[in-house]
Amino acid sequence: MNAVGIGVLASGRGSNFEALARAAQEGRLNGEVRLLVANVAGAGALKRAQALGVPAQFISHRQFNSRVAFEQALVRALEAAGVELVCLAGFMRILSPFFISQFPNRIMNIHPSLLPAFAGLLGMQVHEAAIAAGVKFSGCTVHFVSEEVDAGPIIIQRVVPVLDSDSADSLAARVLVEEHQAYIEAVRLYCERRLEVNGRRVKVVTA
Ligand code: GRF
In this predicted model, what pLDDT tens digit does every residue of 24-58 receive, in sequence order?
999 999 999 999 999 999 999 999 999 999 999 99
Q: Residue 19 corresponds to which amino acid?
A: A
Mutate to test the pocket of ligand 1, among 179, 180, 181, 187 (most ligand atoms within 8 A of CB): 179
- Give the chain as a 3 state SS string: CCCEEEEEEECCCCHHHHHHHHHHHCCCCCEEEEEEEECCCCCHHHHHHHHHCCCEEECCHHHCCCHHHHHHHHHHHHHHCCCCEEEECCCCCCCCHHHHHHCCCCEEEEECCCCCCCCCCCCHHHHHHHHHHCCCEEEEEEEECCCCCCCCCEEEEEEEECCCCCCHHHHHHHHHHHHHHHHHHHHHHHHCCCEEEECCEEEECCC
* 41 φ/ψ angles, rounded to the nearest 5 degrees: -60, 140
Nearest CA to ligand 1 atom 1: 90
Ligand 1 atom index nearest CA of 17: 13
pLDDT of residue 1: 81
**Is a pLDDT exceeding 90 seen at residue 207?**
no
CA 31 to centroid of chain Cα atoms = 15
Angle of helix 15-25 relative to helix 44-52, nearest 10 degrees?
20
Q: What is the pTM of this model?
A: 0.97
**Is a pLDDT exceeding 90 seen at residue 10?**
yes
CA of 83 to the centre of ligand 1 (A): 21
Active site residues: 111
Q: What is the pLDDT of residues 117-166, one digit of tens each?
A: 999 999 999 999 999 999 999 999 999 999 999 999 999 999 999 999 99
Q: What is the pLDDT of residues 66-90, one digit of tens each?
A: 999 999 999 999 999 999 999 999 9
CA of 90 to the centre of ligand 1 (A): 4
Identify whether the C-beta of residue 68 lies closer than 8 Å to the C-beta of residue 100: no
Q: What is the pLDDT of residues 86-98, one digit of tens each?
A: 999 999 999 999 9
Mutate to test the pocket of ligand 1, among 36, 176, 177, 178 (most ligand atoms within 8 A of CB): 176
- As a whole number of angstroms, the distance between CA 129 and CA 31 comes to 35
CA of 89 to the centre of ligand 1 (A): 6
Selection from 117, 55, 64, 51 nearest residue 93 by Cα: 64
Ligand 1 atom index nearest CA of 175: 2
CA of 207 to the centre of ligand 1 (A): 29
Selection from 100, 101, 83 nearest residue 20 by Cα: 83
Nearest CA to ligand 1 atom 6: 90
